[in-house]
């Protein structure tokens, strides 16, 4: 068989799912899960190796179209297919999923309660997350989106903290409830016109009316705003992070939030470009709100997990601004920010979990003075915090700079609007080092807590923990020093995407003057030879 024709993506999706089914039959004489965790880690490594092999040998970054495409009829009566493929939007996130999930499995070593169920759920999540990024059928996408929620709910409700049931219930209500908007929008798009289809490429070329696009766009936006998350639909995330274990933290911050950003690009921007022109200013405003509100709230938090959770929400604001920038650099920065935050967020939450395992507290006032006992953890926490505050030489700096420059040079918005947005977003950038550096000071060199500093359990980082952070820091620093390592994977795709959506905008304005309706007011001084987003330019 020609390896180029091998069903790589289907294998990558189903291998961890099938392998997880064997976990109940693995003998565990001591009941501590030792053979099970090694089995799960082996499965994770094999699947990640398959992802890297398929990417290296059969994925061409110079092509904007879908690659590794597989299509099989599933329910032909309604046009439902098992359709998967990868392009510049999905392949980087598939690589990120394999990398972070494998490290999350390694981070699960301390878990001894119900290890078979725990690792079964991790492997099930592995396949479900890759399916979300790979499937090209909108109904199958909805099914993968929904099925992926079940392992997260169980991981929170069984292995979480004191308020785990509340956090898990809130998570499922928010995410499952908002997913109904995906189903309604998908059915509306599928049955629009003469052809009934759920294939995303076919849906993208249907001739929708503007009103229909706006309604569907709004439905998708609500669903993805919860997952990204966007203020005010964000409140489930601090509660979930506040109760989760370290590996679940890594998956929530490293992968789940990126599903919202990916879906916005894949469906709202790529499939509904006319409606995106009307909603783009709102995305920019929501992005600024995310950055400032979440940064201020993070500064006020006294619970370590919730502080980092709000920091994640703040960083996701840059993704929204980049998506709405209408420039190659802005959209490229949004994708880079998703990848960068996936790595940085996973590293910070892993260290939060490692710190909690030793101090048994998350309240900053109860910590302090532990830097002398845990210098290695302090060093790793400091480096990862510097990456989060966008220190030059780290991936976060490059991503945020690309978003800033991409938005600032956009011809889609008026100069006063761009100045206001950049200044307000810069406030969030200034707040980030304030709350992160003060956090480090309080944990490691604050008022000494004698009960902690004299505790025998207060040991420094283990080799396994150092290895996990080192694996995450290598791409963080590598991309920070040489961003092309990552951007070359998707730049051709994002450039083609921006070109397509720019072409759609002049059709929304009347030639020669600004009379197009917009929820942000009338246009003025529109130049149809350049890009003009309704409601902002003028």
For 394-411, the pLDDT digits (tens) are 999 999 999 999 999 998
What tens digit of pLDDT does each residue of 510-536 get?
A: 333 233 333 333 222 223 233 444 444
Percentage, residues of the chain above pLDDT 90: 67
**pLDDT score recorded for residue 76:** 75
484 half-sphere exposure, CB direction, 13 A CA radius:
0
Higher pLDDT, 461 or 477: 477
- What is the pLDDT confidence band of residue 102, given thresholds at 50, 70 and 90? very high
Higher pLDDT, 99 or 29: 99
Question: For the whole model, what pTM was predicted?
Answer: 0.91
What tens digit of pLDDT does each residue of 137-188 get?
A: 999 999 999 988 899 999 999 998 888 999 999 999 999 999 999 999 999 9
Task: Centre a 10 Å sphere on the Cβ of residue 482 and count the other Cβ atoms it contains.
Answer: 11
Higher pLDDT, 129 or 503: 129
**pLDDT higher than threshold 90 for residue 319:** yes
Calculate the alpha carbon distances from 231 to 314, 395, 401 in Å.
Answer: 10, 25, 23
**pLDDT score recorded for residue 161:** 84
**pLDDT score recorded for residue 123:** 95
Considering only CA atoms, give the Rg of the chain. 23
The secondary structure of 119-132 as a DSSP string is: HHHHHHHHHHHHHH
**Ramachandran area for residue 198 (φ above 0: left; ψ -120 to 50: alpha; else beta):** alpha
Average pLDDT over residues 499-503: 86
Q: 């790793």: which residue's tokens?
A: 380
Token pair for residue 411?
Answer: 């011809």
Q: Are 356 and 308 in contact (CB under 8 A)?
A: no
**pLDDT higher than threshold 80 for residue 436:** yes
**pLDDT score recorded for residue 372:** 82
**pLDDT score recorded for residue 535:** 43
The most confident of 192-196, 365-369, 439-443, by mean pLDDT: 439-443
Closest CA to 491 of 343, 263, 327: 327
**pLDDT score recorded for residue 506:** 58
- Mean pLDDT across the chain, nearest whole number? 87
**pLDDT higher than threshold 80 for residue 238:** yes
368 half-sphere exposure, CB direction, 13 A CA radius:
12
**pLDDT score recorded for residue 537:** 45
**pLDDT score recorded for residue 454:** 66
**pLDDT score recorded for residue 122:** 94
Query: What gap in Å lies between CA 292 and CA 425, rounded to an integer?
Result: 7
Q: Estimate to the nearest angstrom the gap between the alpha carbon of 140 and the chain centroid.
A: 20
């Amino acid at each position: 068989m020609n390896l180029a024709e091998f069903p790589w993506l289907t294998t990558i999706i189903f291998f961890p799912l099938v392998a997880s089914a064997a976990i109940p039959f693995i003998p565990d004489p001591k009941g501590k899960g030792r053979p099970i965790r090694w089995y799960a880690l082996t499965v994770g490594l094999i699947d990640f190796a398959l992802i890297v092999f398929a990417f290296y040998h059969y994925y061409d970054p110079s092509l904007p179209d879908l690659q590794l495409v597989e299509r099989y009829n599933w329910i032909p009566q309604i046009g439902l297919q098992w359709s998967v493929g990868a392009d510049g939007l999905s392949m980087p996130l598939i690589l990120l999923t394999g990398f972070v999930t494998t490290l999350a499995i390694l981070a699960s070593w301390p878990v001894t309660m119900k290890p078979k169920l725990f690792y079964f759920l991790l492997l099930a999540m592995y396949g479900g997350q890759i399916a979300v990024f790979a499937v090209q059928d909108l109904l199958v996408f909805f099914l993968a989106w929904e099925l992926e929620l079940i392992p997260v709910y169980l991981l929170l409700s069984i292995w979480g903290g004191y308020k785990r049931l509340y956090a898990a219930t809130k998570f499922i209500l928010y995410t499952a409830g908002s997913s109904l908007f995906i189903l309604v929008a998908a059915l509306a798009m599928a049955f629009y016109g003469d052809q009934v289809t759920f294939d995303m490429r076919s849906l993208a070329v249907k001739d929708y009316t503007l009103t229909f696009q706006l309604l569907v766009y709004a439905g998708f936006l609500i669903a993805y705003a919860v997952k990204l998350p966007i203020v005010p639909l964000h409140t489930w995330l601090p509660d979930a992070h506040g109760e989760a274990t370290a590996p679940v933290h890594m998956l929530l911050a490293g992968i789940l939030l990126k599903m919202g950003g990916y879906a916005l690009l894949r469906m709202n921007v790529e499939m509904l470009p006319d409606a995106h022109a009307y909603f783009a200013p709102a995305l920019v405003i929501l992005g600024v709100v995310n950055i400032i509100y979440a940064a201020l709230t993070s500064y006020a938090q006294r619970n370590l997990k919730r502080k980092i959770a709000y920091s994640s929400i703040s960083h996701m604001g840059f993704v929204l601004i980049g998506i709405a920038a209408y420039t190659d650099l802005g959209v490229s920065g949004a994708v880079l920010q998703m990848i960068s935050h996936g790595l940085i967020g996973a590293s910070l939450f892993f260290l939060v979990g490692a710190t909690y395992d030793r101090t048994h507290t998350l309240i900053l006032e109860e910590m302090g003075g532990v830097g002398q006992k845990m210098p290695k953890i302090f060093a790793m926490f400091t480096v990862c915090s510097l990456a989060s505050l966008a220190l030059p030489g780290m991936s976060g700096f490059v991503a945020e700079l690309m978003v800033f420059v991409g938005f600032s040079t956009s011809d889609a918005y008026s100069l006063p609007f761009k100045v206001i947005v950049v200044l307000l977003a810069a406030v969030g950038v200034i707040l980030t080092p304030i709350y992160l550096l003060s956090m480090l000071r309080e944990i490691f060199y604050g008022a000494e807590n004698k009960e902690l500093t004299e505790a025998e359990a207060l040991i420094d980082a283990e080799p396994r923990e150092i290895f996990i952070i080192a694996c995450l820091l290598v791409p963080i620093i590598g991309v920070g020093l040489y961003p092309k390592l990552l951007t070359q994977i998707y730049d051709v795709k994002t450039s083609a995407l921006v070109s397509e959506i720019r072409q759609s905008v002049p059709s929304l304005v009347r030639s020669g003057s600004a009379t197009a309706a917009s929820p942000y007011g009338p246009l003025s001084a529109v130049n149809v030879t350049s890009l003009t987003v309704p409601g902002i330019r003028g």
